[in-house]
Amino acid sequence: MNSLIKTALTHIENEQVPQAKQKMIELYQAIKQNPLDLNKIEKPDDFASVISTMLQLKVINDDDEIERIAAIGYVVISKAIITDPAPNKNMFRLLILHFAREQFNYTLRTALGFNSGVNFFSAEGQMVGNKTANAIYEMEVYDLFTNPILYQKIPMFADAKRELDNLIRNNHFYNKSETQVIQQGKEFHSKALNYLTNKILVSGDVE
């Protein structure tokens, strides 16, 4: 798995898109065959870079597969953030949330305890979806606002910071202060990491 990550990243860096896509597919197949090997990844940053690029390029178009890929990338980089924090790790987590926002919403509904058996297609299910979408914004606030170098140096994140500032200013988070939104985002990340660690890294469930 580590060899596939290295090869895929090399193709990405050399802008060899067809070759990179092929290695990404091979990597995903290897993960599905031996999901517990995710615990043996040597460079989580490189892995998250490959996964975020895979999502950005839409290498796989099926929404269920995108949801799984995002969950896998999220749990690996989130675990790395706990053990060895660095802004680039939060950057990759932000990219995963950004490129799989709609699909990862479904995983987070369960991870954050929002769905409680609700039918996704019912009116109540739509409300849960909106609640989860807000939670993702709060998770992004945590990653971005606690790593200012990201929005100071990268235009994409500067734009995201302005959007999130406006949401807070316009009481999108029900009159929570910036500090409260950051804390809530941190708590949501903790819940999501705990759920996905048990599901993926302990039980080997990537379905």
CA-based nearest residue to 79, from 34, 30, 41, 134: 41
Q: What is the mean pLDDT of the chain?
A: 95
Of all residues in the chain, what percent carry a pLDDT higher than 70? Answer: 95
Over 70: is that where the pLDDT of 119 sits?
Answer: no
202-206: long-range contacts, CB 8 A cutoff, minimum separation 24: 204/35, 204/36, 205/35, 206/31, 206/32, 206/35, 206/68, 206/71, 206/72
Average pLDDT value for residue range 134-152:
98
Say what the pLDDT of residue 117 is.
Answer: 66
CA angle 199, 201, 203 (to 5 degrees): 50
Tell me the residue type at 3. Answer: S
Say what the pLDDT of residue 129 is.
Answer: 82
Average pLDDT value for residue range 128-153:
96
All structural domains of the chain with their residue ranges: 2-202
Average pLDDT value for residue range 111-123:
72
Average pLDDT value for residue range 14-34:
97
Over 70: is that where the pLDDT of 92 sits?
Answer: yes
Over 70: is that where the pLDDT of 58 sits?
Answer: yes
CA distances to 47, 152, 167, 204 from 70, in Å: 12, 26, 25, 15
Cβ atoms of 23 and 1 within 8 Å: the answer is: no
What are the pLDDT digits (tens) for 93-114? 999 999 999 999 999 999 998 8
Residues 6+ apart with CB under 8 A from 13: none
Say what the pLDDT of residue 118 is.
Answer: 60
Whole-model pTM: value is 0.94
